[in-house]
Structure 1
């Protein structure tokens, strides 16, 4: 039990508690159902009066960084690797070798070979289509995972967040947030990876997420008299995803996976190795000055201090979740 409130309604005693499995209203065994319905209904109706006041308070708390973000990296990992596995499996398809053919007339043997060839071509095309579906979902899942990782790392790197800084960080474009994690200055390797991520975002993720529409008009063809339909993005047309038979071929999928692996390595090693321990163990980040300072102090002291703090925060989470007070 986390808290209890005692009250009387029409001389009947009531207890309102937040217990391990939710809020509970407790009353005397013989209390009328009519009174129970009235109490429950009035509590629900009172939320409409309370929410506007809580909303203003919540906004001020968030602006000061007094908030907790649920660490759901395991969920994002599961979604990303699930679609990646499906795409890998689909793109790994290879036509089976020709089986034994029936000995009959020359004509029937020829028809059998043609039938088998067409069947294998259909199977290969179906596998490529499945690979495209899964790879597109994988790209979307990875960028969602990246945004979640960046939000979590912003607290765990242990660097102070100014008043209103959390809101500003959340409102910034995804690539600006990534640069901010590097104190606004990336080295050449990180900068190259960011450039490639922007290309994947523009050429694969955004067109697939927005019905094939690209920000530079790449989905449109203007009519040039005497010539025909011309891509609206002109020289920028080359390299775009085509909504044709195989928009994401196996080679593009492999290149994208290699890029994602490189960025994942970048954000889990070097200056992010110790902050990533909090991420990896599922610690929910808090963004107030005291909590961020605590993460930063442990990181400065080294791996052993981070391990101790991770264990401490994990035990606190278990105690609060189980309400073992």
Structure 2
């Protein structure tokens, strides 16, 4: 009962704060005109990483909204400085549509108010979100195919580039007229070196991206596997997933039953190089 009272009081306090933060915003009496507003633009995703927080803010204030519709999850309608405005979560990001009479300064002010409103709602739900996560009530999307495809793509690009770098130059060589020039030999050598270096650089960058993709795939796979481990009351699933590399790998691998892994883990000062060696050994586990 006390928890419910505390939650209700927190909601009421947030509502009061939102009323101050959204000064100049009033509920729209009708959405008929707002649906056809122009122009529409998409603010930076950095400023609005979780647009749903804005929807929650408006719902707490009792503003009208609609959705889902085609290519649009939700839309909130309101007036800003007595001019019609709508904010929506569309297919390609968070969008704002507004009356043309609102200038850049007005829209900058509106964006600032929306960001502060989102922060207020985030502060409200943060304790509950942490509680749910610690209890294991969350879902992790299986993106293994995405990481695996990325790894194999960059690996193929790196192999192809290094192969081109090792390829011998064309046997045709320069023409007779070119060979008569005193600079012909220097030109040939420079051309061959530049060609090889170009492909080596491409191979290096693709190989670096391949390694990043490999570890992203490995960590994602490890996290997915941790979710299927037997429950432990002394440690939440989220705590297991938040551990360092070596601890996460040890949680899903049979270290004691594998001589190579046991030897790698025997070093009390296990470092990043040891982790790489462990990862190189994971092919036998289907990684």
For Structure 1 versus Structure 2, the TM-score category normalised by the shorter chain is 0.5 to 0.7
1:137 aligned to which of 193, 209, 233: 209
Partner of 2:75: 24
Q: Deviations over 1:249-297 (max 9, x none)?
A: xxxxxxx9xx75x6355245xxxxxxxxxxxxxxxxxxxxxxxxxxxxx
Partner of 2:15: none
Partner of 2:168: 95
CA RMSD of aligned residues (A): 4.5
CA contact (8 A) 1:179 1:185 kept: no
Partner of 1:165: 236
Q: Deviations over 1:169-220 (max 9, x none)?
A: 233211210110126645125557889xx99944999xxxxxxxxxxxxxxx
- CA drift of 1:26 comes to 6.8
CA contact (8 A) 2:155 2:210 kept: yes
CA contact (8 A) 2:67 2:73 kept: yes
- CA drift of 1:146 comes to 1.2
CA contact (8 A) 1:95 1:123 kept: no
Residues 184 and 98 (structure 1), Cα distance of their counterparts in 2 relative to 1, 3 Å cut: closer
CA contact (8 A) 1:193 1:263 kept: no
| Structure 1 length-normalised TM | 0.48
- CA drift of 1:63 comes to 0.7
The range that moved more, 33-42 or 174-183, is: 33-42
2:131 is the alignment partner of 1:60: yes
Give the Cα–Cα distance (whole angstroms) in 2 for the partners of residues 122 and 174 of structure 1: 40
Greater relative contact order: 1 or 2 (C-alpha under 8 angstroms, separation 6 or more)?
A: 1
The alignment partner of 2:189 has SS state of: helix
Q: Deviations over 1:29-80 (max 9, x none)?
A: xx99938659998998654443222000001111111111122223322322
Residues 32 and 116 (structure 1), Cα distance of their counterparts in 2 relative to 1, 3 Å cut: closer
Give the Cα–Cα distance (whole angstroms) in 1 for the partners of residues 172 and 125 of structure 2: 71
CA contact (8 A) 2:264 2:274 kept: no
Give the Cα–Cα distance (whole angstroms) in 1 for the partners of residues 286 and 265 of structure 2: 12
CA contact (8 A) 2:147 2:216 kept: yes
Give the Cα–Cα distance (whole angstroms) in 2 for the partners of residues 204 and 178 of structure 1: 9
1:75-90 superposed matches below 5 A: 75-90=146-161
| Structure 2 length-normalised TM | 0.53
Residues 51 and 121 (structure 1), Cα distance of their counterparts in 2 relative to 1, 3 Å cut: closer
- CA drift of 1:166 comes to 2.3
The range that moved more, 54-63 or 73-82, is: 73-82
1:72 aligned to which of 143, 147, 150: 143
Give the Cα–Cα distance (whole angstroms) in 2 for the partners of residues 137 and 43 of structure 1: 37
- CA drift of 1:151 comes to 0.9
Residues 173 and 109 (structure 1), Cα distance of their counterparts in 2 relative to 1, 3 Å cut: same
Residues 125 and 194 (structure 1), Cα distance of their counterparts in 2 relative to 1, 3 Å cut: farther
Give the Cα–Cα distance (whole angstroms) in 1 for the partners of residues 207 and 176 of structure 2: 42
1:74-223 superposed matches below 5 A: 74-93=145-164, 94-103=167-176, 108=180, 112-155=184-227, 157-162=228-233, 164-182=235-253, 185-191=256-262, 201-202=272-273
CA contact (8 A) 1:136 1:204 kept: no
Q: Which runs of 5+ in 2 are unaligned?
A: 1-25, 31-62, 89-109
Residues 48 and 114 (structure 1), Cα distance of their counterparts in 2 relative to 1, 3 Å cut: closer
The alignment partner of 1:19 has SS state of: coil
Give the Cα–Cα distance (whole angstroms) in 2 for the partners of residues 200 and 116 of structure 1: 46
